[in-house]
Amino acid sequence: MSIQDTVSSWEQLFEIAQKNTSARRVRRPGQSPSTEPIPSSLHKLPPDTTPPVLLYRDTNSWCPFCERVWFALEEKEIPFATEFIDLSNKPKWYTDLVPTTLVPAVKIEGQLVYESKDILLALEEKFGTTLLPDDPEENAIARQLVEDAETNGFREVVYKFLRATPADADELANLQAAFEAKLDELEQTLGKYPGPYFVSNFSLVDIMYSPHLDRLAANLPVYRGYHLKGNERFPRINAWFEALNQRPAYHRVKSDNITNNLLLRRRWGVEPIGNPLPLNSVDSQSIEYRAEAAERLSDNREVAIGDILKNSGVQALAKDGDISAIQEAVDLHLRLLADYLINGNGAPLPGGRTGGKDSTDPIVAAVGAITLAYVRNRICAPRDMSAGAATAFRAAADKVLASVY
Ligand SMILES: N[C@@H](CCC(=O)N[C@@H](CS)C(=O)NCC(=O)O)C(=O)O
C-alpha cells in the first residue's frame, strides 16, 4: 500500500483541525494576503453593520506602526475592517487620501486619521480612554511618555545598532553603548510605577514600544549576538515582556521570531552572525496552536500548493514538463505536515514516514524536502496565522523534514 493511501484526506484533516482551534480567518480569493484575520470583537456588531473603524495596513503585516493600531483595536475590543495596502505598489487612491502616503491610517466613522500615535489617541477619544490612566496626573504622565516614545530618539538609536554596517569593532561597540543607554532609560521609566508596565496599568505607552522591542528581542541574538531576553542588565524590561505575554490581544497581533529574522535579512539585507533562537517549545507543543496551523494549511492548501509549484524550484524536477507527479508529491508532504500537526506528539516521526512505494522514488523525497523547507520559511506571522501557530508549524515542518530521508 502506498503512503498516499494511508495519509488522511484534506477534508478529514481540515475537519479535525477546525474542531481543535477557535482561530478563524476569511479567505481572500486571488488577493494578497490570501487570508485575513477576523477581529475578535466583530461578533459584537449586529449583522450587516459597517464596523466603526476601517484600518489601512500593509499586506504582509510587517509594519510595527500598523501593529500598534491593531493591538489597541484588539485591546479595546473595537470591531474593525481592514484594507490592505501593497507598499511596493501603493494605489493612487491611497497616496491621494493620506498626506504622508504611509501606513497605518484609519477612518473612524468615516474620518481619516494617520500617524500611529495620533490614531491611538483618536481611538481613546472616540471609544473611551481605556488605555490611558483615569487619574489626571498619571494620565498627563502617560501622554507625555507616548510623545517621548516618538521624540526621544529611541527608534533611531536601537535600529542603528541592529541594522547599521559598522566600519570596525570600535564603531560597533559605540552603537552598542548608545543602544544600552537607551534601554537603561526605559528600564528607569519602567521603575516609576509599581507593576510591570510603564504606568500603573497596561496603556498606550506599552503599545508604542512593544512592536519595536519585540523585533529587537527577536533579531539582536541573530544579527548582533546580543540577548535582550534574559539579560540581567534589564530586569524590568524582561518583566514587562512577561506581562505582555499574558495578554491575549498581544498574541493575536505579534509576529514570531523567525518572521522577524527573515524580514531583516530580506528587507534590510543584514547578514546573520548568530544562531536563530530555538523555537518556543511551549508554543510548538500547544494543541491549540498546532490545530490552528493545521487548520490554516488545510484551508489554504490550494494557494500554498500554487505558490510552491511556482516559487520553490520543485518544477525543475518535472519529467518531460509533466508537473502532475510533482504536484502530487507536494500535496502528499503538506498532508503529512498537517497530519503531524494534528497527531504528532512532539516526538520525531518513525523513520521513513514517507516509506512504502514512494520512499524508493528519489524525486518524491526531493520534492518533499523542498516543499517542507520552503513552507517553513515562507509562512509569515501574523499575516498567515498567529505567531504561536507559526512556531508550531515551523517545528512540525522540521520534524517531518527530518523523516524524509
Ligand atoms: N510615523 C509613522 C511611520 C509609519 C511608517 O513608517 N510606515 C511604513 C511601513 S512600516 C510605510 O508606510 N512605508 C511605506 C513607504 O515608506 O512608502 C507612524 O507612526 O504611523
pLDDT tens string 171-204: 999 999 999 999 999 999 999 999 999 999 999 9
155 shares a domain with 95: no
- The predicted pLDDT at position 1 comes to 53
- Long-range pairs, 317-326, Cβ under 8 A, ≥24: 317/363, 317/366, 317/367, 319/363, 325/363, 326/363, 326/367
Choice between 268 and 17, residue whose per-residue pLDDT is larger: 17
Q: Is the CB of 150 under 6 A from ligand 1?
A: no
**Residue 293 domain-assigned (yes or no):** yes
Contacts of 288 (CB under 8 A, 6+ apart): 20, 21, 22, 23, 388
Helix%, strand%, coil% for the chain, nearest 5: 60, 5, 35
Q: Is the CB of 249 under 6 A from ligand 1?
A: no
Nearest CA to ligand 1 atom 19: 116
What's the 102 CA to ligand 1 centre distance in angstroms? 4
At residue 356 the predicted structure's pLDDT band, cuts being 50, 70 and 90, is very low
**Residue 266 domain-assigned (yes or no):** no
152 shares a domain with 122: no
Q: Is the CB of 103 under 6 A from ligand 1?
A: yes
Stretch 338-346: mean pLDDT, rounded? 84
> Given 127, 160, 190, which residue is the final one in a domain?
127
148 shares a domain with 194: yes
At residue 131 the predicted structure's pLDDT band, cuts being 50, 70 and 90, is very high
- The predicted pLDDT at position 344 comes to 84
The whole-model pTM stands at 0.94
CATH of the domain at 117: 3.40.30.10
Closest by alpha carbon to 186, among 223, 227, 247, 233? Answer: 233
45 with 79: CB under 8 angstroms?
yes
**Residue 278 domain-assigned (yes or no):** no
Q: Is the CB of 56 under 6 A from ligand 1?
A: no
**Residue 37 domain-assigned (yes or no):** yes
309, 310, 316, 320: CA torsion to nearest 10: 70
85 shares a domain with 29: yes
CATH of the domain at 209: 1.20.1050.10
Stretch 5-12: mean pLDDT, rounded? 86
What's the 228 CA to ligand 1 centre distance in angstroms? 25
**Residue 361 domain-assigned (yes or no):** yes
Lowest mean pLDDT among 31-35, 285-289, 304-308, 358-362: 358-362
Stretch 265-272: mean pLDDT, rounded? 87
Distance from C-alpha of 350 to C-alpha of 398, rounded to nearest angstrom: 14
241 shares a domain with 140: yes
What's the 65 CA to ligand 1 centre distance in angstroms? 7
- The predicted pLDDT at position 353 comes to 45
**Domains identified in the chain, total number:** 3
387 shares a domain with 294: yes
363 shares a domain with 305: yes
**Residue 319 domain-assigned (yes or no):** yes
At residue 7 the predicted structure's pLDDT band, cuts being 50, 70 and 90, is confident
Query: Which of 61, 98, 103, 106 to mutate to test ligand 1, by most ligand atoms within 8 A of the CB atom?
Result: 103
> Given 73, 103, 127, which residue is the final one in a domain?
127
Stretch 104-118: mean pLDDT, rounded? 98
The cell 481619516 sits on which residue? 112
Distance from C-alpha of 220 to C-alpha of 341, rounded to nearest angstrom: 30
Q: Is the CB of 87 under 6 A from ligand 1?
A: yes
CATH of the domain at 319: 1.10.490.20
What's the 300 CA to ligand 1 centre distance in angstroms? 29
**Residue 306 domain-assigned (yes or no):** yes
112 shares a domain with 35: yes
Query: Which of 57, 60, 62, 63 to mutate to test ligand 1, by most ligand atoms within 8 A of the CB atom?
Result: 63
The cell 527573515 sits on which residue? 262
Residue 311 has pLDDT above 50, yes or no: yes
Nearest CA to ligand 1 atom 16: 102
Q: Is the CB of 106 under 6 A from ligand 1?
A: no
Stretch 73-89: mean pLDDT, rounded? 97
Which structural domain range is residue 145 located in? 136-201+203-246
> Given 80, 99, 127, which residue is the final one in a domain?
127
Rounded to whole angstroms, the maximal C-alpha distance in the chain is 75
**% residues pLDDT > 70 (the chain):** 95
Stretch 127-145: mean pLDDT, rounded? 97
User: Where are the alpha helices (H) located in 224-300, listed in sequence order?
Assistant: 235-244, 248-253, 257-268, 281-285, 287-299
163 shares a domain with 123: no
Q: At what angle do helices 136-151 and 116-127 cross, to 10 degrees?
A: 160
At residue 270 the predicted structure's pLDDT band, cuts being 50, 70 and 90, is confident
Which ligand 1 atom is nearest residue 85's CA?
Answer: 12
At residue 404 the predicted structure's pLDDT band, cuts being 50, 70 and 90, is confident
Helix (H) / strand (E) element for 141: namely: helix 136-151
pLDDT in tens, 272-288: 988 889 999 999 999 99
The cell 494543541 sits on which residue? 287
70 shares a domain with 108: yes
Distance from C-alpha of 89 to C-alpha of 151, rounded to nearest angstrom: 29
pLDDT in tens, 246-266: 999 999 999 999 999 999 988
Q: Is the CB of 63 under 6 A from ligand 1?
A: yes
Q: Is the CB of 326 under 6 A from ligand 1?
A: no
226 shares a domain with 168: yes
Q: What is the mean pLDDT of the chain?
A: 93
Nearest CA to ligand 1 atom 2: 115
Q: Is the CB of 211 under 6 A from ligand 1?
A: no
Closest by alpha carbon to 134, among 210, 203, 73, 206? Answer: 203
What's the 196 CA to ligand 1 centre distance in angstroms? 29
298 shares a domain with 241: no
Choice between 43 and 140, residue whose per-residue pLDDT is larger: 140
Q: Is the CB of 148 under 6 A from ligand 1?
A: no
Query: Which of 58, 65, 204 to mutate to test ligand 1, by most ligand atoms within 8 A of the CB atom?
Result: 65
Stretch 47-67: mean pLDDT, rounded? 96
**Residue 275 domain-assigned (yes or no):** no
